[in-house]
Structures are given as C-alpha cells and as structure tokens.
Amino acid sequence: MSALRTRSLSLRPRARTVAASLVAQGALLLAGCVGSGDVAGPVSGGGGAAVRASIAARLQVDAPAGALLRLTPAYLRLDGTSRDLPTVTAPLGTAAEEQVAVEIEFGACLADPERAGWQGAPPTAGECVLTLRFALLVENAQVDTATIGPLAIRGGQRVIPGAVSLQEAAALQLFTADGTPLSTTTPLPVQVGERRALVARIVDGAGRTRPARAVSWRLTPPGLAALSDSGVLVGALPGVGSVGATSGGVEVAYPVRVVRAPAPLRIEGAPGSTGRVVVTSRPAGIQCAITNGTATGSCELPFPGDTTVTLDVVPEGTTEFRGYDGACVGDGACAVPMTEARTVRVASTARFTLAVAAIGGGSGVVTSVPEGIRCTVTNGTAAETGCSALFRLGTAVELQATPGANADFTGWSGDCTGAAQCQLPMTSAAAVTVSLVPRQSLTVSGAGSGTGLVTSSPAGIRCVITNGEAAEEGCAASFPRGSTVTLTATGSGASDFAGWQGACAGTGSCTVAVDAATAVTARMALRRTLTVTHTGVGNATISSTPAGIQCVVANGVRASVGCSAAFPEGTVVSLTATAGTVTDLVAWSGACSGSGATSCTVTMGEGRAVSLALAVQPLLTVTATGSGDGTVTSSPAGIACTLQGGRASGSCAARFASGTVVALTTTPSGPTEFVGWSGACAGTGNCTVTLTEPRDVTATLALYPLLTVAMAGNGEGVVTSTPEPIGCQLSQEGGYQGSQSGPFTTGTCTARFPRGTVVTLTQEAGEGSTFGGWEGACAGAATCTVTLTDDRTVTASFGRNAGTFRLTVEANIANTGSGTVISGQQEISCTITQQTSGTCSADFPRGTQVTLTPLAGAQSSFGGWGGACSGFQGCTVTLNEDLTVSARFFRAIGIRLPGGTPTRPPAPQKPPLTVRTPRPPAR
C-alpha cells in the first residue's frame, strides 16, 4: 500500500479469516504462505532448552501501511496464573489479505515443573497449554487485540485455532468543515439551498482521532437534501432526517433539519397610538418599546423560516392595549409563522388616573361625568373605593361636589382650584382634593365695666357690649368648620378695649380657627390716669409697657409732657427707668411695687401716682505729686490720667455708679519710680476704692537719683560706669571758646539710675596724663562704687606726667581767615578758622625747642603771632613751662602782608592724642 488506508484483523467470523497451524520444530511454512521473509527470530527463555513452533496466519488487513502484528504467547501454571513467553512481531504488507508466518519459542514452559496440563490434568511430557494474544499496532500504538486459547501445543502436532479478526477504528465522528462536531441531540440546521460540507474522523483503539478512509455517506429520507460522495450536503425540502457515514467497519448517524431561509419580523406602533407598551417574542429576540406610537429597541429581527413566533404585549403603567394589525389582527394571542417577511402593528391608548381626596372634616359626595368617580366623603375622609378611576387621554372629566347636611363645600385644591365646578382634560394623572367643612358656632361675651363693639371677618358677628355686658343679638354666628375668623374690638366713649379672654388673648385682633364651638370674651374697661414724678438730681428716662409713659428727667428737671397717661382699668403697666449720664437710680415710691430701681409694676384701678428718686454718681479724682512721670488708669474705664513732674492732665476725674469698686493702676515712665498712694488709698500696691461718696487719690512719682561725674586737672582721661551709660571725657584741647581755652569735658557725664542701684565708676588716664584720684561721693584712687539712694556727685582729677610741659596753639580772637600751624615733627598740626581743630596741643620734655610754622589757607594770609611768640615769621619757643601761642590769619583782599605765605613742607604724619570715650549705654 502506498497510502494510509483502513485494514482490520478480525476475531469475528468473517469471510476472510486467519488460520494458524502448529508444526514441529524446524518444519517448513505451510505451502502458499507469503511474507515468510518478515518472520522474527525465536527467543529462548526460562533457562530451558529452546523449543520452537511455527504459526502461519492468513490475515484480512484494514490498517495503514507500516502497521505491525504483535503475538504474545503465555502458558498456564498450576496455581492458576500465567507467564508470558517471548513476544514476536511481524510487519504487515500492503495487501488487503496476506499470510504471515511467525515462530514462537516455549522451551521455558516445558522447563517449568509448575506448568499446568490440559483442563486440570497433570502436564503431559513435551506439551504446554498456551494462550495466544494478537495485537494490531499502528504508529507504535495498540489499536485492537484478540486472544486465542487455551491451546495444547507440543512438538510435531498441528493445531488449527478458531477464527481471528482485528481492526483499527473504534468509533466514527462527523464534523462540519469548520471543525464543529455534530450533535446527537440537536439537529444540524441546513437552509434550503445551503451547502454544508461534512468531514468524518475515526477514533482508533488508542483513543486518537484520525482522518477516516473510504467513507460511505447516506441520508434519510433521501429527498430531504442532496448528499455527495465527498460529504457535501445541500438542503432541498424543509423537514427532519439524519445523515450517516460508514468507515473502517464503524457506522454513525446524526440528526439534520432542513429549514427555509430566515425572514424578518418587524414590530411597529399603530397610527394614533398613545401610552407605552413593551412587545417581546417567543423565541426570544424581539424586545421593543412603543411609546406614543414610536417603536424603539429591538423591533425587527429575522427568524428561521419554519419558526412560529409568538408575541406578548405588556402595557406599562395605566396604558391600555387595544389590539394588533398586520400579520396579527385583534387583541387575542398573536402567533406569526415566519414563511416570509412579516409586520405586526400594535395599538395602545394612554389612560390616566384621576384621584379624589377630601379635607375639612365635612361629609358629602363627589361624582364625575363621564362616569367613573363616585366618591363618598365622611367627616373629611374619602372612601377607599369609588374615589379614583382611569380615563383615556384627552377625555374631559367634570367633577361635581354635593355637601351633606350641616356641611359646606368650600372649594377644590390640587389640579382643580376655586369653588366652581372642576373640569379636567385628562392629559396626565390628576389629583383633586374637595373641601367639605362642617359648620360650627362662634360666641362673643363681654367683661369689665366699659362699653364697646366687636365685629367679625367674614361677617356674622356684630356684638355691642355695654358696661361689660354683651347684647342678646349679634354676638353669636355659625361658620364652616376650620374657617379662620378675625374679631376686632373697639372701645367707645371713655372706655378702651382691655383684652381678650377665652380662645384669644392680648389686645390686638383675635383670629380663631373655628374647628369646634368656640367662645371669646372681650373686656371693655374705663380709662384711668397714671402719673410719674421724681425726686433728687440727675438724668433718667421712664417708659411704660403698654406704651403711654415716656417721661424724661434732665439735670433734675422733669419734662412737661410724657409723664402721665391714661390706661384701661385693670391694665398691668410695667415702668422701666433708664439712668442717664452720671446718674444713679435710687428707688421707687408711691403705687409702684418691686424691689429693683430700674422697673416697677402698677395695676390700674383708680388714678395712680409713682415717684422715682435719683442721685448724681460719686466723683473719683486723681492728682499727682513728685518729680516723676507716669500714668494712672482705672478699671472699670473712666480714669486715664497723665502725670508729669507733679502735674496731672487728661481724664483725671470720673463718675461711677454708687457702690462701684474702682481699681487704679499706676505705670511710671522713663527714669521714674512709683513712691506710693495717698488720700483714699495708701501704700505702693494696687489702689481699690469703693465709691459711695466723692473720693480723692494722689499718686506720688519720683525721678531716679542723679549721678553726676565732674572732671578736673590739666591732664586727660575717661570715666565710665557699670551699669552704663556714664562715659565722660576730659580733654585739654577745646579750641577757641570765647576767651577760654581748655580743659573741656565731653560725653555722658550725668545719668539717672533706679534707687538703690550700685554704680561702679572706672577711670582711664590719657596719653601723658595720670589719674589723680576721686572726690565727692568717692575718695582715693581706687575704683569708685556709689549706692544711689539720692542724687550724688563724683569728681575725677587727671594731671600731666611730671617733667613735661604743654605747648598750645589757639586762634587769635581777631582771626578772619584760615590756615594751619604745624611743628617740626608735626606733634602739633592745628587747623585754625574761627575755632581750632586737629592736634592743637602737645607735651614736650623740659627744655625742648619747638618751631611752629604758619600755613595760610586759600584766599587767606598769615597775620602774625600772639602769646609766647610775636611777629610774622616762624615761631621758636623753649618749653620750660606751659606756653600758649595764638596765630592770626586774615582773609586776603589783594594785599600781601609781610611774611608772605610759606610753603607747607612735607613731613611724616603723627597721630594725635587719642583718649577713649566709652560708648553711651543702650536705652
């Protein structure tokens, strides 16, 4: 065989069988055997002598080329078990029928003393009882087996076994061309004229699915469709049948159904339809909503041609389904056979609910035209039935209300309003409430001693009251229950309406809801006068509730109007007093009752009089003494007084309500200390004054003690303090100071310190100077320490070193120009204008000769020397004592004075005497 095909080795009786013969060892294959060249060699086993036998088999083969035949012999043992002998395999050829020869070796059986004999007999010498297991192998997988035996085999004996058959296929399956398996329960659908290609596959004995070979196809009934030899099915007539196939000795059949081509079913809304219905189908597919005749959703769908589609309509809400048109007619069941395209129209009408409710507590009946509503109302409650109905869209419904006995129809609310007939075009759901109100009585009576009139709105009451008695007529009326009636009362003549009793209170209008029989009393009272006076001095306002009194007292004088008023007899009048500026409310007297001074209550009988006592609030005054500065403030506020050197300014006096506890606080400012209080307070703590009468308080503030540092002597130096800020400097170079020249004191030489401060003074002598000692509050040359309990003065003396003398240059008093005087080594370099600046003095050892040179400034000329030198030339002096030389420079006006203007010679710079000045203390 050149191609894979189906072959079988059958164990069942068939026309073609396998014959097997056992011959003696080494015997030739039976005549006519084929394939002897494919026999596998024998295999020894069991350790015994090799004993061989040949089996010749004629085979009907249904398997692909390359299949193998495998033979496994086994012998029986006395214990009932079996043992395999060596397996023999032989390849199968390509012929459908072939004869195969194989050899088996069973020496191991003969050598086994426990081998069994035939049918339980003892074993015969040279004989074994064997079973032969045949297997068909395709691609090394076992696909079918068959067993022959038991057989008694011995040398030289021929055994012919029964018929043997094997085959490759175990089952057969059908698939569509796309690989979908056919179902044994659900018919394969094929439309008329549709081509469906089928494929057959076998399942071999190893469980593998493989393409089938030599397939034979069949169709039942034959006219259902056309079926080709290659498995192509073409639908012909609608109906149900089966399609089958045979291959490899296996048969199979599957159900098939031929149907017409699908036809569409369309759902539409009938013209003029209103409301909303939902249409569904069986089988499923149609899910169509029709709203006011417009269809939306899945409203068109194709169904198989032999399907009968049943439609179901579900109205939503109060919509009414009116029937079908088109492929279905009427309002019964709709079943549509889908033999062609079909259209079904669904008709519906919207209906709306009209509901009637009731309020008011009355009884009656509400009916409708057209009929539908007949609603019975009992004591304001509508019946459970008859009070609602469905009406088609556009229906004009008219409601009529008929009140029962002792009830009034007072109107509609909801979708109808007013008291006329209720007419509703039904375009949507509507709700109407009818008001049926029972009638109830309202009675007015009188009280008091006055006269007046009571009227009602709505009309019905007009009640005259005389001396507190109501008239017999006009003082009672009947109103629908629940009505709101407003009563108005007015006094007449010398009477006032004094208030309501019963269902109303107060003196305004009386509004009552007449839900039941109601009674109201109107009190009419004669007017009585209330007079308010005062005693004492002050400012106040007295007012009344109810209004009438508005009495103002200013600076002890009562106003001429507002201090008396007329009130109805029996009225309870509340008087309230408001104190004005700097005024205390003391107490009430007269017809008033009440413990407070701000209010009292008077009940009006005959004429009444009330008096209020007033008093001016006590004054608190703050004054100051001492040299210090500060402020005094009060709590509560009022005093805000500034104190400066014993003088008080600002808000230093204020009035407070009698009995007020005022706390005064002083705050010193700058170098000031608080010494203490006097007058209404004492000591240095907080000042607290209880004001029951005028009070005076004096605050004493004192400046801190003053420390003064004086400098003396012909030397130079600095004095500083700890704590700061003293930083006082003594300098002999003061320049032109009128007719005086040096010494001069600069810096901070005075300062104030808190009382009791311990101040340490430290001195530092300048260059060429020596500290000479302290005087005043300190003595000696040591450090000066002063405890400040009062003002103190300390003098520090500085002198020049022994053996030196000072040369000083100063400006002549008549000097008008400018220039500079320098010494040979520039120990002196003094700039002269109207005053001097620079280094204008220097100390030299005794006997030193010093030459001074004048240098005139711009537009100036040297005008000559004075003092220890004279003339217009250079000045040379010998220092054996302190000397002073003055220089004069004139402002040049075109005249050159004798001596000319020498040229300044260059000279090295020498720094002037520097005396350290302490930094002022931080404030």
- Cα dihedral 209, 215, 219, 225, rounded to 10, equals 90
Contact 636, 718 (CB under 8 A): no
Count of beta carbons in the 10 Å neighbourhood of residue 484: 11
Q: Specify the 3-state DSSP secondary structure of 190.
A: strand
DSSP string, 339-357: SS-EEEEEEEE-EEEEEEE
Q: Is the peptide bond before 636 cis (omega within 30 degrees of 0)?
A: yes
Q: Read off the pLDDT of residues 774-833 as tens digits, 9 standing for 90 and up.
A: 999 898 878 899 999 898 999 999 887 777 788 888 888 778 888 998 988 788 889 988
Q: Read off the pLDDT of residues 41-90 as tens digits, 9 standing for 90 and up.
A: 333 334 456 777 766 666 666 777 778 989 999 999 998 899 999 999 98
DSSP single-letter state for residue 120: G
Distance CA 870, CA 137 (A): 159
Q: Specify the 3-state DSSP secondary structure of 224.
A: helix
Instruction: Decide which of 900 and 859 is more confident.
Output: 859
- Cα dihedral 433, 436, 437, 439, rounded to 10, equals 170
DSSP single-letter state for residue 834: S
DSSP single-letter state for residue 660: E
> Residues 637, 638, 644, CA angle at the centre, nearest 5°?
110
Q: Over 80: is that where the pLDDT of 209 sits?
A: yes
Distance CA 188, CA 789 (A): 130
Of the candidate ranges 94-108, 338-352, 373-387, the one whose mean pLDDT is the lowest: 94-108
Distance CA 604, CA 317 (A): 72
Contact 106, 149 (CB under 8 A): no
- Write down the pLDDT at residue 160: 60
- Write down the pLDDT at residue 77: 93
Distance CA 901, CA 910 (A): 24
Q: Over 60: is that where the pLDDT of 154 sits?
A: yes
Q: What is the mean pLDDT of residues 472-494?
A: 87
In the chain, DSSP finds a helix count (H) and a strand count (E) of: 1, 79
In angstroms, the Cα distances linking 575 to 44, 71, 595, 601, 745 are: 146, 138, 13, 6, 79
Contact 677, 698 (CB under 8 A): yes
- Write down the pLDDT at residue 921: 36
Token duo for residue 616: 């001016």
- Write down the pLDDT at residue 49: 64
Residue 21's pLDDT band, with cuts at 50, 70 and 90, is very low
Give the strand pairing for 209-211 and 195-204: antiparallel
In this structure, what are the phi and psi dihedrals at residue 894, rounded to the nearest 5 degrees?
80, 5
Distance CA 251, CA 254 (A): 11
Q: Read off the pLDDT of residues 306-359 as tens digits, 9 standing for 90 and up.
A: 789 999 999 998 899 999 999 999 989 999 998 889 999 999 999 999 999 999
Token duo for residue 806: 């000072």
- Helix or strand holding residue 268 (H, E): strand 263-269
Instruction: Decide which of 243 and 16 is more confident.
Output: 243
Q: Over 90: is that where the pLDDT of 126 sits?
A: no
Closest CA to 367 of 348, 390, 387, 392: 387
Buried-exposed string 507-527: b where 16+ CB fall within 10 A, e elsewhere = beebebebeeebebbbbbbbb
Instruction: Decide which of 687 and 569 is more confident.
Output: 687
Give the strand pairing for 250-259 and 188-191: parallel
Q: Over 50: is that where the pLDDT of 716 sits?
A: yes
